[in-house]
Amino acid sequence: MDKVVAWSRATFKTFAAEVGTVPGVSMVRMVELLRERPPRPWWHEAVESWETVDAPLLPAGYAAGFATSVPLVESGQYLNYLHQKLTDIGVAQQIGFLKSFSELDADVVVNCTGLGARRLCSDDAMYPIRGVVVRTERVPLYESYADDSDISRLTYVIPRTADCILGGFAQRDDNATIVRDGEADDIRRRCAALVPELANARPLEVKVGLRPGRETVRLAWDSEDPRLIHNYGHGGSGFTVCWGCADEVASMVGECLPDR
């Protein structure tokens, strides 16, 4: 099986088992909207089941929809939970900027520096993929929607516990971390075309982020430093594959530190 599909499946399983017990994790019905109808969604192998949504139930202009139930991870809540878990089991934490791995005195180093790996590992294969989202007040929706047909202007609506996330953009090689004029209105207009209830939703904030892009994830031992495992370059799918990648890294660490 393709590695990304295997990582996605493992991650799906972990998040699904956390629903109801871990803050920020729930399941949501996600509908992918398409202008043309392929035989099946490209992501069909990564989910347990999916169904076709017929055109009369879709927003105007769409020929097909595929629906599935997926884990929804509210990143702030989930990262706080993970951070607390590490603190509770006594993992020491030190914050600092690393110029070289030689600064670290450790038996094993796992490099999860995302876009920072471009400089830290001189990895020219890394590139930013700029994203923008609008966070609005909560609108009671029971489905998430995504239209990925325009690859640099992805449109998506994600209803969360206390708010809604409206997206977005995916602009390759764009490093700008400011919000440009017109971007928030463009996102809101596109999302309201999918879900009219969003037209009057009160905006709370607009955020920009840079996805750590790479043609393939680099999850491998370093070819020169025998202590170093790389795990970066997850692009716009870092949450989708995180636990699958983490399991693989954990077994690599386990092989080289069998007695611990």
Ligand X SMILES: Cc1cc2nc3c(=O)[nH]c(=O)nc-3n(C[C@H](O)[C@H](O)[C@H](O)COP(=O)(O)OP(=O)(O)OC[C@H]3O[C@@H](n4cnc5c(N)ncnc54)[C@H](O)[C@@H]3O)c2cc1C
Which residues are near ligand X by CB under 6 A? 97-98, 112-116, 120, 131, 133, 168, 209, 211-212, 232, 234-240
Find the largest Cα–Cα distance for the chain. 61
Task: Please tell me the distance from the alpha carbon of residue 128 to that of residue 112, in angstroms, as a whole number.
Answer: 15
In the bound state with ligand X, the residue whose beta carbon lies nearer, of 55 and 250, is: 250
Answer for the pair 10, 124: CB distance below 8 angstroms, yes or no. Answer: no
In the bound state with ligand X, the residue whose beta carbon lies nearer, of 27 and 57, is: 27
- Least Å distance, CB 210 to ligand X, is 6
In the bound state with ligand X, the residue whose beta carbon lies nearer, of 203 and 236, is: 236
- Least Å distance, CB 187 to ligand X, is 11
In the bound state with ligand X, the residue whose beta carbon lies nearer, of 94 and 223, is: 94
- Least Å distance, CB 129 to ligand X, is 7
- Least Å distance, CB 55 to ligand X, is 26
Long-range contacts of 116-122 (CB under 8 A, 24+ apart): 117/212, 117/218, 117/230, 117/232, 117/233, 121/230
- Least Å distance, CB 17 to ligand X, is 18
In the bound state with ligand X, the residue whose beta carbon lies nearer, of 41 and 212, is: 212
- Least Å distance, CB 252 to ligand X, is 16
In the bound state with ligand X, the residue whose beta carbon lies nearer, of 2 and 259, is: 2
